[in-house]
């Protein structure tokens, strides 16, 4: 037993030393890149960042040690001293290679960050995708490649000699006579390595969510570049599977025609260079908006589906206090999400352009996210000197949304650490909605500028949980709904959490309406996607989300028609026209209060719909399918009609333009 302890201690010692090397890099990173950044008040967060970083480093060490641990377990079970001699001799070469690679990659990451202000990501592939020869020549002229090469070789030498010194072998005598004890000890080793690799024993493995602070730089201290590099390879593999949507849409080498078809113009009206300028619209002069310069609060609610609302009653109080506001204010019900998952909804609202159907990788995780775009939705508010704030109740490292928001130009990016709440007041996916809504209200009073606040909630997401103090309202599931439910117990949890989210939102709206902000704040709320707990037979209801608007009386338009079709794509143009005067913007959506809205067509993933019917684009099999509405607003298969053919052309041109804009207008 004593000999076994010595072996384990030796292995632990060498790995702790390697862990120290990785932590030393983090200290150097902090000292070098932290210069000039005001970190007053973030002392505790910085400590958390280093602790999180150490856990991430330990996870990498665990991954490196997993093959060695398996070999160790096999040898332990056999208990042969000669096998240990070979094993220890092999380890010094094994650690030399992998720890040397770690040190080399850390060096690359340091230089990468000095240029991009980001840890290693998909932009690293630019080395082989751009003019590689020119890049090498640039490196040769600007850097001492001989010195760098020598340093890289040096990175492999210390791990070899450290391993050789610590892992000196001597004859070991094992006293484990029972094979059972060997198996138990082996199992403990494997469990320890598994936990080290995950970095945690809870739901999400470490490395996916690393935010520890509301300060973006402090969060970057914690990040481990090996995880960002791993994601880069994963995302790159998916990116290579993407379609050429311009070609698929039938506009190869003819993108001007796509703009002409989309806008119903003649191709001569589309500029040869920069055809995207034809998408620029301008809000009318609005004296009241210019005077008020209203705050804008845009809330994207997790799973705020539309269909379940029709079952609301005093006995099945699914809306809670939100019903009063839905009755008092404006709600569009013929409204749908752009995609089927949260990140797609976020991208649609961030970018103001239609999502490409069946995209193999989301925009936020591709190299394109590092560009700045003229169609970014917050730009009109930035030009009008608004303080732009993105708030997310969980970690902004999820789907890279923190980087996404920062690149678009948000002034502030607040995550769960910015809500300043006790750790016990969060669910699996971040802070409970009530705390996020408190943070939204508090932000209104900070500074003298008008605010544009975009918030994404998380509570209404599986696995469902609620804060202990929440008192549930009556929820007796009606028979008409019960018959459609897949799993009644799961559905009840979903209904309760849906109710909680609505009730907390209602309290925020109440608070604003009773405050000094009531006359100068617009509140816009929609869902990221539908709420799925039961069978829905209509596509529009299946992908439907409500779009709620509270508009101060002085800004509220007359003759509002809430029966028009709308989608996420139309939210920002609607807000621009309500709140900004004589301001330009670029978008593929429309103002829902404009005359164009009565003929609006809306897109959800690979479907486009309007009041006449729908077209589905099966891009994988290169097929187009046509549908008409029946009297219950259920889609039925149809042959191609003139109106559906026009709808098809509108859809294909939208997608081609979106692909063009993303690939050709970013900087």
Torsions phi, psi for 79 (to 5 deg): 65, 35
Please compute the mean of the pLDDT values over residues 314-328 and round it to a whole number.
Answer: 96
β-strand partners of 412? 389
- Helix, strand, coil share of the chain (percent; to 5): 55, 10, 35
Q: What is the band of 440 on the pLDDT scale with cuts at 50, 70, 90? A: very high
pLDDT digits (tens, 9 = 90+) for 92-122: 788 888 888 888 888 888 877 776 677 887 6
pLDDT digits (tens, 9 = 90+) for 300-312: 999 999 999 999 9
Please compute the mean of the pLDDT values over residues 191-210 and round it to a whole number.
Answer: 69
Would you call 525 helix, strand, or coil by DSSP?
strand
Specify the pLDDT at position 329.
97
Q: What percent of the chain has pLDDT over 90?
A: 43
Number of Cβ within 10 Å of residue 448's Cβ equals 5
Specify the pLDDT at position 131.
47
Would you call 238 helix, strand, or coil by DSSP?
helix
How far, in Å, CA of 413 to CA of 402, rounded?
7
pLDDT digits (tens, 9 = 90+) for 5-17: 677 777 777 778 8
Whether residue 81 is predicted with pLDDT greater than 80 in this model: the reply is no
Number of Cβ within 10 Å of residue 418's Cβ equals 22
User: How far is C-alpha 397 from the chain's CA centre?
Assistant: 7
How far, in Å, CA of 123 to CA of 82, rounded?
48
Would you call 109 helix, strand, or coil by DSSP?
helix
| Helix-helix angle 225-239:81-116, to 10 degrees | 80
pLDDT digits (tens, 9 = 90+) for 499-555: 999 999 999 999 999 999 999 999 999 999 887 777 777 888 888 999 999 999 999
Q: What is the band of 1 on the pLDDT scale with cuts at 50, 70, 90? A: low
Q: What is the band of 299 on the pLDDT scale with cuts at 50, 70, 90? A: very high
Whether residue 148 is predicted with pLDDT greater than 90 in this model: the reply is no
Specify the pLDDT at position 632.
79
| 194 vs 639: which has the higher pLDDT | 639
Whether residue 239 is predicted with pLDDT greater than 80 in this model: the reply is no
Would you call 65 helix, strand, or coil by DSSP?
helix
Region of residue 483 (left: phi > 0; alpha: psi -120 to 50; beta: else): alpha
Please compute the mean of the pLDDT values over residues 628-633 and round it to a whole number.
Answer: 84
Q: Which residues have C-beta within 8 Å of that of residue 34, sequence separation ≥ 6?
A: 217, 221
Q: What is the CA radius of gyration of the chain?
A: 29
Q: What is the band of 233 on the pLDDT scale with cuts at 50, 70, 90? A: confident
Please compute the mean of the pLDDT values over residues 481-487 and round it to a whole number.
Answer: 83
Number of Cβ within 10 Å of residue 611's Cβ equals 14
How far, in Å, CA of 321 to CA of 326, rounded?
9
| 35 vs 245: which has the higher pLDDT | 245
Domains and CATH numbers, the chain: 2-238 (no CATH), 306-356+363-589 (3.40.720.10)
Specify the pLDDT at position 559.
86
| 347 vs 151: which has the higher pLDDT | 347
Q: Residues 551-562, buried b or exposed e (16+ Cβ, 10 A)? A: bbeebeeeeeee
Which of 89-93, 174-178, 208-212 is most confident?
89-93
What is the DSSP track for 462-502? SSP---TT--PPPB---HHHHTTBS-HHHHHHHHHHHHHHH
Whether residue 149 is predicted with pLDDT greater than 50 in this model: the reply is yes
Q: Which of 175-189, 210-224, 285-299 has the lowest mean pLDDT?
A: 175-189
How far, in Å, CA of 307 to CA of 628, rounded?
20
pLDDT digits (tens, 9 = 90+) for 543-553: 899 999 999 99
| 195 vs 3: which has the higher pLDDT | 195
pLDDT digits (tens, 9 = 90+) for 353-401: 988 776 556 777 777 888 889 999 999 999 999 999 999 988 887 888 8
Specify the pLDDT at position 95.
81
Specify the pLDDT at position 32.
83
Number of Cβ within 10 Å of residue 3's Cβ equals 15
Whether residue 286 is predicted with pLDDT greater than 70 in this model: the reply is yes
Q: Which of 140-149, 285-294, 421-430, 436-445 has the lowest mean pLDDT?
A: 140-149
How far, in Å, CA of 334 to CA of 338, rounded?
13
């Amino acid at each position: 037993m004593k000999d076994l302890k010595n072996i384990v201690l030796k292995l632990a010692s060498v790995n702790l030393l390697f862990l120290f090397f990785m932590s030393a890099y983090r200290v150097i990173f902090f000292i070098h890149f932290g210069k000039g950044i005001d970190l007053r008040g973030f002392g505790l967060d910085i400590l958390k960042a280093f602790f999180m970083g150490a856990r991430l480093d330990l996870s990498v060490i665990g991954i490196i040690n997993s093959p060695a641990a398996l070999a160790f377990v096999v040898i332990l079970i056999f208990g042969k001293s000669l096998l240990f001699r070979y094993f220890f001799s092999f380890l010094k070469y094994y650690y030399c290679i992998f720890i040397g690679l770690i040190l080399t990659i850390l060096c690359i990451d340091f230089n990468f960050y000095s240029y991009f202000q980001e840890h290693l990501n998909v932009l690293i592939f630019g080395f082989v995708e751009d003019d590689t020869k020119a890049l090498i020549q640039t490196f040769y002229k600007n850097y001492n490649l001989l010195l760098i090469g020598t340093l890289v070789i040096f990175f492999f030498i210390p791990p070899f000699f450290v391993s050789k010194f610590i892992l000196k072998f001597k004859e070991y005598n094992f006293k484990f006579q029972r094979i059972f004890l060997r198996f138990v000890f082996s199992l403990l080793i494997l469990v320890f390595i598994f936990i080290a690799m995950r970095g945690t024993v809870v739901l999400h493995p470490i490395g996916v969510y690393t935010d520890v602070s509301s300060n973006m730089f402090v969060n970057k201290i914690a990040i481990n570049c090996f995880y960002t590099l791993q994601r880069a390879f994963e995302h790159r593999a998916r990116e290579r599977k993407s379609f050429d949507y311009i070609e698929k849409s039938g506009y190869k080498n003819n993108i001007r025609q796509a703009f002409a078809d989309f806008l119903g113009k003649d191709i001569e009206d589309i500029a040869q260079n920069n055809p995207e300028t034809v998408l620029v619209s301008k809000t009318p002069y609005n004296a009241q908006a210019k005077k008020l310069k209203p705050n804008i609060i845009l809330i994207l609610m997790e799973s705020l589906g539309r269909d379940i609302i029709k079952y609301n009653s005093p006995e099945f109080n699914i809306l809670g206090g939100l019903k009063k506001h839905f009755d008092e204010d404006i709600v569009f019900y013929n409204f749908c999400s752009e995609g089927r998952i949260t990140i797609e909804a976020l991208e649609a609202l961030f970018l103001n352009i239609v999502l490409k159907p069946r995209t193999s990788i989301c925009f936020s995780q591709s190299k394109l996210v590092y560009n700045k775009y003229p169609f970014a939705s917050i730009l009109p508010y930035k030009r009008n000197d608004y303080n732009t704030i993105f708030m997310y109740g969980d970690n902004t490292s999820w789907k890279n949304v923190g980087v996404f928001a920062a690149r678009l130009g948000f002034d502030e990016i607040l995550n769960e650490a910015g809500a300043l709440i006790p750790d016990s007041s969060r669910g699996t996916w971040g802070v409970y909605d009530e705390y996020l809504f408190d943070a939204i209200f508090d932000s209104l009073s900070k500074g003298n500028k008008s605010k544009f606040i975009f918030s994404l909630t998380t509570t209404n997401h599986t696995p469902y949980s609620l804060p202990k103090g929440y008192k549930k309202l009556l929820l007796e599931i009606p028979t008409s709904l019960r018959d459609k439910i897949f799993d009644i117990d799961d559905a009840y949890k979903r209904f309760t959490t849906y109710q909680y989210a609505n009730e907390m939102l209602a309290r925020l709206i109440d608070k604003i309406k009773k405050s000094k902000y009531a006359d100068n704040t617009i509140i816009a709320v929609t869902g990221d996607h539908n709420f799925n707990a039961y069978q829905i037979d209509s596509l529009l209801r299946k992908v439907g989300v409500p779009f709620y608007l509270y508009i101060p009386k002085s800004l509220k338009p007359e003759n509002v028609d809430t029966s028009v079709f709308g989608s996420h794509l139309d939210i920002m143009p609607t807000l621009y026209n309500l709140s900004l005067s004589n301001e330009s913007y670029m978008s593929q959506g429309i103002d829902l209060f404009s005359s164009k809205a009565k003929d609006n067509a809306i897109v959800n993933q690979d479907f486009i719909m309007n009041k006449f019917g729908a077209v589905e684009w099966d891009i994988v099999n290169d097929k187009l399918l046509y549908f008409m509405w029946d009297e219950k607003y259920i889609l039925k298969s149809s042959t191609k009609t003139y109106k559906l053919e026009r709808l098809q052309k509108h859809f294909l041109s939208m997608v081609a333009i979106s692909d063009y804009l993303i690939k050709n207008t970013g900087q």
